[in-house]
Amino acid sequence: MNLITAHDLSKTYLKGETKVEALKGLNFEIEPASFVSFVGPSGSGKTTLLNLIGCLDKPTSGILRVDDTDVSGLDTRMAAAFRGKKIGFIFQDFNLIPVLTVYENVGYPLVLVQNTPSSERKQRILALLDAVGMAEQKDKYPDQISGGQKQRVAVARALVTKPKLVLADEPTANLDHKTAYMVINIMKKMKSELGTTFIFSTHDQKIVGEAEIIYTLEDGELAGREV
């Protein structure tokens, strides 16, 4: 059973009168517990694709199934609920909530998205903070830690709800090389430990090498698949 199935997946943006075909009939399948990267030049459609898979946007045509759900049929509220349950997100700019501590940021999805009982919360948060090496900084606020540390916290936040899938659009673009590697490797480690599928997009050729499956996008079309 595939985790993600895309069939003839297209997305066309309307910019006034002109149409921008960001994705042109993509076909691919992603199995559970994969470590996948989408690469391609700027404007090739990486963000567009990740937004579709992440149920943040809807395809113009074609089929997209995520964890056996036809996600193009979800309304706004259902899509939000689906994301909260099945998908974790890691952002390029880390996007931690500034008024919450590291510990609270990781706990946020459990409290305000999933309503997990508090007994279970603490143990899960601490385990993940430990796994990403941020346990010592748990009471610090986001503005008191470095970019790499923020992204490690974001990885923990994305995983705390035990999602099937974690999406990361250019997660290392704002990090130096060493830190970028470290973050990618933490993601990889979590994938092996938890069996979570990670899909990330990147420009960085060296980082791409860390992926197990690499899709290349060019001008809205799939130009290659490397394993």
Partner 1 sequence: MFDLFKIAIRNLLRYRRRTLLTVSLVSIGVVSVLVFVSASGSFKNMMIGQITDSFLGHIQIHKKGYVASIDSLPLTLNLGSNTLEKVEKAINEIPDIEAYSKRIKFGGMFSNFVETTNVRLNGVYPEDEARTVPLLLSRVREGERTIRTGEILVPELLAKGMKVKVGDTVVVIATNRDGSVNGKQFQVGGILESATGPGGRDGYIHIDDAAEILRMDTTQISEIAIRLKDFDKLHEVFDRLKDKLSNEVNKQGGPAFEVHMWEKLSPFYNIARMIDIMTFFVKLMLIAIVLISIMNVMVMAVYERIREIGTIAAIGTLPGKILAMFLIEGFSLGFFGAVVGNVLGVATISILSMAKLTFNFGRQKGLLLSPGINIQDILLISIMVITISVLASLQPAYKASKMNPIDALRHV
Ligand X SMILES: Nc1ncnc2c1ncn2[C@@H]1O[C@H](COP(=O)(O)OP(=O)(O)OP(=O)(O)O)[C@@H](O)[C@H]1O
Pick one of Mg ion, ligand X, partner 1, none as the site partner of residue 139 (Cβ within 5 to 8 A by kind): none
* Cα separation, 165 vs 163, whole angstroms: 5
* Cα separation, 109 vs 130, whole angstroms: 18
Our finding on whether 135 is near partner 1 (CB under 8 A) is no
Could you tell me which residues come within 8 angstroms of residue 175 by beta carbon, excluding any fewer than 6 positions away? 147, 148, 151, 183
Enclosing H/E stretch for 181: helix 177-194
Q: Is the CB of 100 or the CB of 213 nearer to partner 1?
A: 100
Our finding on whether 77 is near partner 1 (CB under 8 A) is yes
Rounded to a whole number of angstroms, the minimum distance from the CB of residue 77 to partner 1 is 7
Which tokens in the block code for residue 73?
């049929």
Q: Is the CB of 51 or the CB of 179 nearer to ligand X?
A: 51
Residues 146-175 that bind partner 1 (CB under 8 A): 157-158
> What are the strands of the beta sheet with 197-202, ordered from one edge?
87-90, 165-169, 197-202, 35-39, 213-218, 221-226
Our finding on whether 43 is near ligand X (CB under 6 A) is yes
* Amino acid in the structure at residue 195: G
Our finding on whether 46 is near ligand X (CB under 6 A) is yes
DSSP β-ladder status, 35-39 and 197-202: parallel
* Amino acid in the structure at residue 190: M
Q: Is the CB of 74 or the CB of 173 nearer to Mg ion?
A: 173
Hey, which residues does 10 pair with through a beta bridge?
61
Q: What are phi and psi of 157, to 5 degrees?
A: -65, -40
Rounded to a whole number of angstroms, the minimum distance from the CB of residue 48 to ligand X is 3
Our finding on whether 107 is near ligand X (CB under 6 A) is no
Q: Is the CB of 121 or the CB of 203 nearer to ligand X?
A: 203
Q: Is the CB of 60 or the CB of 116 nearer to ligand X?
A: 60
Pick one of partner 1, Mg ion, ligand X, none as the site partner of residue 45 (Cβ within 5 to 8 A by kind): ligand X
Our finding on whether 72 is near Mg ion (CB under 5 A) is no
- Candidates 24-32, 38-46, 117-125, 207-215 — which segment interacts with partner 1 by CB under 8 A? 117-125
Which tokens in the block code for residue 108?
């946020």
Evaluated on CA atoms 39, 42, 44, 50, the torsion sign reads positive
Q: Which residues bind partner 1 (CB under 8 A)?
A: 51, 54, 56-57, 76-77, 80-85, 87-89, 91, 93, 95, 97-100, 104, 107-109, 111-113, 118, 121-122, 157-158
Q: Which residues bind ligand X (CB under 6 A)?
A: 13, 15, 20, 22, 40, 42-48
